[in-house]
Amino acid sequence: NSKANKKMKISDHLTEISKPENKEVLKNHLEDIEFEEKRMSITDFIILLINNKVEASSLYQLTGMEDNNQVSLLDISVMILHDLMADYLTIKN
């Protein structure tokens, strides 16, 4: 899908994620977590964003990612998959 490969600023993706209709869909798939003021994964950041615990503007402060980084939906999907796999493996050990 060409839309999935299209590179955009990550801040633009976060704007889309922040829309109420998208938050509701994502809440069904990503379990809420508690906010901790520390460096976090993009997955944790998105979870906190959809649960109104952080603002998109705090991306760099909390993840170290510049908000003008160019990423595709596929890139974000891979980041989330890696985060979830790391969490799974960490919990299992």
Query: What's the pLDDT tens digit per position in 43-86?
Result: 999 999 999 999 999 999 999 999 999 999 999 999 999 999 99
| Cα separations in angstroms, 50 against 2, 76, 89 | 26, 15, 25
Q: What is the pLDDT of residues 11-54, one digit of tens each?
A: 999 999 999 999 999 999 999 999 998 999 999 999 999 999 99
Name the phi and psi angles at 38, rounded to 5: -160, 170
Spatial distance between the Cα atoms of 38 and 24, rounded to a whole number of angstroms: 26
* Confidence tier at 91 by pLDDT (50, 70, 90): confident
| pLDDT of 1 strictly over 90 | no
Contact between 56 and 49 under an 8 Å Cβ cutoff? The reply is yes
- Can you give the residue ranges of every domain in the chain? 2-92
**Which helix (H) or strand (E) is 20 found in, with range?**
helix 20-27
Return the pLDDT at 92.
64
